[in-house]
Amino acid sequence: MPRYKTTEEVLRLANNRDQIRNMGIIAHVDHGKTTLSDSLLTASGLLSPTVAGEALALDYLKIEQERQFTYKAANISLYYEKKENNTEFLVNLIDTPGHIDFTGFVTRSLRAIDGAVVVVDAVEEVMVQTETVTRQALEQMVRPVLFINKVDRLIKELRLTPQKIEQKILRIIRDFNRLIDTYGPEEFKREWRVDPFKGSMAFGSAKDRWGVTLKIAQSEGLKFADIVSAYERNQPDELRSRFPVENAVLDMVTEHFPPPYVAQKYRVPKIWRGDLDSEVGKAMLNCDPSGPVVMCASHMRVDPQAGVVATGRLFSGTVYSGQEVYLINSRARGRAQQVGIYMGPHREVVGKLPAGNIPALLGLEGARAGETITTVPDIMPFESIRYVSEPVMTIAVEPKHPKDLPQLLDTMKRLSIEDPNLRVTINEQTGEYLLSGMGQLHLEVALTFIKEAGLEVVTAQPVVIYRESIKGASQPITVRSPNGHNRVAVMVEPLEEGVIRLIMDGKISEFMDNRERAKLLRDAGWSADEARNLWNISDGFNVFVDATKGVQRLEAVAGSMRIGFTEAMSEGVLAREPVRGIKVKLLDALVHEDPAHHGPGQIIPAIKRGIYAAMMLAGTVLLEPILRIDVRVPPDLVGVVTRVISSKRGKVTNIESKEHLVYIVGELPAAETFDLSEVLRSATGGRAFWDTSFLKFEAVPTSIVSDVIKEIRKRKGLPPEPPKLEEFLD
């Protein structure tokens, strides 16, 4: 029995491709995404109008309700009937987090949707995370429309006149269109610019549940003066009854967002590098429900009773319960035990779903976020999902009671499955269990989930994750295996920024066609031989290239060499921190003819020693994460804030006045931010509001780098001084 009566309408429309819209709501933190979602749920009869705007129904986790922010992306299928022409629509909605620490959920959600409602606070205007999520959407060929929220604040807090309100809204539209002009795909820039006269922009108050497009306002004779008057008379209910926000937003969505079969014609070539003229390629371009099943899993949930549930966009075919599928990225097979759809926290079992929808598949234990799920065993997987940030902080976790260790490991594993931006590792030197994330809040939320699982844990203070790299190219260096029967010659050099950008953008991956990848690398300046023989790409944008000629038995040890490369890149030579941005070349090798003498126990250590020695010859460097800080303060506190930033090894890059606030943009090392909240609140009397986001990696200043390395090594149980070159040579 379906939990929601609208499920029947949803399933009826799921087979009509013209009436499906896949959308998301994205925004800067606290700009009102989930509050707006409440009103959209009322339009489908899924939420009582009396609690809409306050229920935060898609913030269904306890921590989300308590802290009033979205942690995970939540999806729900809505039935909507457009009153203008009585047309029915199935709107698959994903509500996403706004805080930068959880932007990975936004990145994954964008793979599943075709359009995004970008919510902007009318007072704060376009903020840093607004720009980040809009840029991500445009890079994924997701069409944006604009909802300017919290117009009530302009009246009640800033007391603006109708003319000033109109000017502010026009400025927000101008700034938002500037983002589209900067980041939008060339072929759609003009079409996707928001235009009030075309109905691709709406404004209102999600909290008070009213909203209008210019078309609605003109047809009803609504003026800004009428809106101001309603609030001055303390009668916003008048606006709510005449102009429900859900009508404005869903009309905008159904009119401007394309149905799946239209969107996939231009989105599939962007996210899938396979042959578009093949059977699979044509099926995906046409969103063919009769074609082979091809689905990209964007979100994973671990149901305590049922196991892993993979949710994502079905690009072709029809998926049904009991169907056998291949997990291309995991190189495994599985069976979809159940097919369902998510309605917020609840999963409705539906049996089967055709292409263009967002099914939830139960039973695929090996699946992970970004997984390509298909009935074709050897297709090209989807482009890797690339994130705007990397884990920059880590915390050591251990159970208070040793008997809870197995449960702690299971819980941490579940968290890392549901949120791939959380990394779980074990420090072999100290035996600590390490949890790494995007920032302090990210780790704090993860610890809350661990405690909610009934576990008492002991934690250390969070620490920054540094990166190791090199200053220049090394000379070739040869090392022996531990038994002395094998030799490898390697060299390292910095990886070109252009290639790093291609990897970050997902344009180069290990899984893509070798000829296409080789062409991209040649265009980036690589020689033809190197471009043809790229072996590996590691997480830190490091590559392993086979530059050998005629080496005997190389194929027998290639797997071990790749493992050695991956291990060396995960723990560098200076302080066992991850390596970033280097190219490792295998120049020559002598492999013993007896397999007993060239096993992994010989080849892996040899490759690692060779890479470490080459890095030391090239000149190692320790990189620290630098955060961008955006602060909003009254004009009289500008000097106070700039002094705080300077005192933390930071610098101010821009100061701009808007209305009654000054917006300060700066940079500061992540290592200096642990007490930032206390210092800024104390210095400004609580009148400063700020956000931080990952910006870049930068070399640690020479004056402190030695002390930083010693501190990291001490924490990891290593000798205080890094090893010397001689320790890696024969």
State whether 253 and 269 are in the same domain.
Answer: no
Distance CA 626, CA 650 (A): 9
Q: Are 587 and 489 in contact (CB under 8 A)?
A: yes
Q: How does residue 523 score in pLDDT terms, banded at 50, 70 and 90? A: confident
Q: Who's near 216: CB < 8 A, 6+ residues apart?
A: 222, 243, 247, 248, 251
pLDDT of 74 higher than 70: no
In terms of residues, how long is the chain? 730
Lowest mean pLDDT among 115-124, 265-274, 445-454, 664-673: 445-454
pLDDT of 427 higher than 90: no
Which stretches of 161-235 are DSSP H helices? 162-183, 189-192, 214-220, 224-232
Determine the average pLDDT of the residues in 137-150.
91
Residue 679 is part of a domain; what is its CATH number?
3.30.70.240
| Number of domains making up the chain | 5
Q: What's the count of helices (H) and strands (E) in the chain, helices before strands?
A: 24, 32
Distance CA 178, CA 180 (A): 5
Tokens 């190692």, located at residue? 620
Determine the average pLDDT of the residues in 17-39.
83
Distance CA 165, CA 78 (A): 33
State whether 559 and 680 are in the same domain.
Answer: no
pLDDT of 274 reads: 83
Q: How does residue 344 score in pLDDT terms, banded at 50, 70 and 90? A: low
Q: The tokens of 222 are what? A: 């609504």
State whether 628 and 538 are in the same domain.
Answer: no
Q: How does residue 261 score in pLDDT terms, banded at 50, 70 and 90? A: very high
Q: pTM of this prediction? A: 0.73
Q: Which residue has the higher pLDDT, 356 or 503?
A: 356
Q: Does residue 125 form part of some domain?
A: yes
Q: How does residue 103 score in pLDDT terms, banded at 50, 70 and 90? A: low
216 C-beta neighbours (distance < 10 Å), count: 18
Q: Does residue 704 form part of some domain?
A: no
CA atoms within 13 A on the CB side of 538: 24
Q: How does residue 16 score in pLDDT terms, banded at 50, 70 and 90? A: confident
Q: Which residue has the higher pLDDT, 177 or 4?
A: 177
Q: Who's near 643: CB < 8 A, 6+ residues apart?
A: 683
Q: How does residue 428 score in pLDDT terms, banded at 50, 70 and 90? A: low
pLDDT of 304 higher than 60: yes
State whether 280 and 401 are in the same domain.
Answer: no
State whether 83 and 119 are in the same domain.
Answer: yes
What percentage of residues in the chain have a pLDDT greater than 70? 89
Residue 560 is part of a domain; what is its CATH number?
3.30.230.10
> Which residue range(s) make up the domain with 143?
6-258
State whether 636 and 603 are in the same domain.
Answer: no
pLDDT of 282 reads: 93
Report pLDDT digits (tens) over 469-511: 999 888 998 888 888 888 888 999 998 888 888 877 767 777 6
Under DSSP, the state recorded for 593 is: S
State whether 267 and 183 are in the same domain.
Answer: no
Q: How does residue 69 score in pLDDT terms, banded at 50, 70 and 90? A: very low
Mean pLDDT (the chain) is 82
pLDDT of 343 reads: 73
Q: What is the DSSP string of 252-317?
A: HHHHHSPPHHHHHHHHHHHHB-S-TTSHHHHHHHTT-TTS--EEEEEEEEEETTTEEEEEEEEEES
Q: What is the DSSP string of 139-164?
A: HTTPEEEEEEE-HHHHHHTS---HHH
Residue 94 is part of a domain; what is its CATH number?
3.40.50.300
Q: Does residue 1 form part of some domain?
A: no
Q: Does residue 713 form part of some domain?
A: no
| 310 strand-pairing partners | 300, 361
Under DSSP, the state recorded for 661 is: E
State whether 319 and 350 are in the same domain.
Answer: yes
Q: What is the DSSP string of 603-668?
A: HHHHHHHHHHHHHHHH-EEEEEEEEEEEEEE-GGGHHHHHHHHHHTT-EEEEEEEETTEEEEEEEE
pLDDT of 266 reads: 93
Q: Does residue 656 form part of some domain?
A: yes
pLDDT of 64 reads: 37
Instruction: Provide the pairing of β-strand 463-464 with 487-494.
Output: unpaired
Q: How does residue 385 score in pLDDT terms, banded at 50, 70 and 90? A: low
Q: Which of 258, 289, 324 is the last residue of a domain?
A: 258
Q: The tokens of 193 are what? A: 């610019």
pLDDT of 96 reads: 66
Q: Are 16 and 109 in contact (CB under 8 A)?
A: no
Q: Does residue 158 form part of some domain?
A: yes
Q: Which residue has the higher pLDDT, 419 or 340?
A: 340
E strand or H helix at 350, and its extent? none
pLDDT of 49 higher than 60: no
State whether 289 and 338 are in the same domain.
Answer: yes
Q: Does residue 454 form part of some domain?
A: yes
Q: Which of 413, 429, 460 is the last residue of a domain?
A: 460
Determine the average pLDDT of the residues in 382-410.
75
Q: How does residue 44 score in pLDDT terms, banded at 50, 70 and 90? A: low
pLDDT of 722 higher than 80: yes
pLDDT of 106 higher than 80: no
Report pLDDT digits (tens) over 526-565: 888 888 888 888 877 888 888 888 878 888 888 888 888 8
